[in-house]
Amino acid sequence: MKKLIPFFLLLVSCVKLGINEYRQNIVYPFMYIKKHVDIQWWYQTGIVEAKKDTFFYQFTIFRSEKPIPGYVLHIALLDVKSDRHYFFHNVKLSSILQKRVGFIHDTLFFDKYNYISFNDDTVFVDAKLQGVGLHLISVSKKPPVFHGVDSFIIMGHPDVAREKSFYMSFTRLKDSGYVLLENDTLNVHGESWFDRQWGNFSEYGWDWFSLRFFDNTEMMLFGFPKKGYNEGTYIDFKGNAEHIKSFSYTVDSFYTGCKNKRRFGLGWKIHIKERSLHVTPVSFDQYNCWGKMDYWEGLCRIFEEDSLVGYAIVETIWSAHSNK
């Protein structure tokens, strides 16, 4: 019954407005599938709290055209209290897609259990895979942020025209809902960050930082250590965005993860806008092992002058610091 409530409300809105007006006024156009691009994704991460526990979650649907057209689903969950990390993934190739894959009105379906819906400034996430699940209603407290120049950031290669990505975010979403874990349903509340990206870029060796400060400001930082290129965005407490053209950072230590014994740089000292930040993982075991694209995606703490000033989600692809 809980899952039907948000869709009932959306259906009522649809009937009142008419389907064409509904799509124009309630769903942002850039949420829909972008045609003729190699890769795109819909991504949400957050920190949610139950009565006796804290969870970090990740929900991502990718759509790729190369090498084989299809969709990929990633679900990750960190149970902070037990320091247990879960990561699941699934693939659906375009040649065998069922009808209920892709967008239907306001909802992007991976399958009937895993989908993400959009209604103006609200995002609905439903996920369930191998005993781990999410049901979240996330309401944005700030306007959408469009990163880079004219909504496009450079993906490590400023001299190559195709190495760019459209990039927008909701950087401060208020969550309510529940987490399903090993047959327990836990009511939760918290905050999330949503990303929408697409492009024809080929560079996948990055460190990505989503910094969420207690003073209601945020930073998005994209670093490409092998290319020597960095850029980002600062978002003030009102939601105003400022393009960050450069910053610097160093890695604390290197660790080996996943069965392929990948080399990951974890722990980061960031120097930006006359600030020195130290980002440290809550748990080091937050590896999302996915073959050639193994990556670490995890919940971190942000320290400034030894004071805890916020939390971060960091994504580092193994190839960012690999010697190969």
Q: How confident is the model at residue 323 (pLDDT cuts 50, 70, 90)?
A: confident
What does the DSSP 8-state code read for residue 204? -
Give me the CATH topology for the region 34-320: AttH-like fold (2.40.370)
Judge whether 115 and 10 are in contact, CB under 8 Å. Answer: no
Strands 207-213 and 164-181: unpaired
Q: What type of residue is 206?
A: W
d(CA 25, CA 50): 34
pLDDT at 25 over 60: no
Q: How confident is the model at residue 101 (pLDDT cuts 50, 70, 90)?
A: confident
Of the listed ranges 15-19, 123-127, 128-132, 314-318, the least confidently predicted one is: 15-19
Average pLDDT, the chain: 90
- Copy the structure tokens of residue 244: 């960050």
- Copy the structure tokens of residue 34: 């972008």
d(CA 6, CA 10): 6
Instruction: Give the list of residues 6+ apart from residue 15 with CB closer than 8 angstroms, or none.
Output: none
Q: What's residue 26's pLDDT?
A: 53
User: What is the pTM (predicted TM-score) of this model?
Assistant: 0.90
Q: How confident is the model at residue 300 (pLDDT cuts 50, 70, 90)?
A: very high
Tell me the average pLDDT across 197-206. Answer: 95
Tell me the average pLDDT across 78-106. Answer: 85
Strand partners, 234: 219, 242
Percent over 70 (pLDDT), the chain: 90
End-to-end Cα spacing for the chain: 51
d(CA 228, CA 235): 24
Tell me the average pLDDT across 191-219. Answer: 97
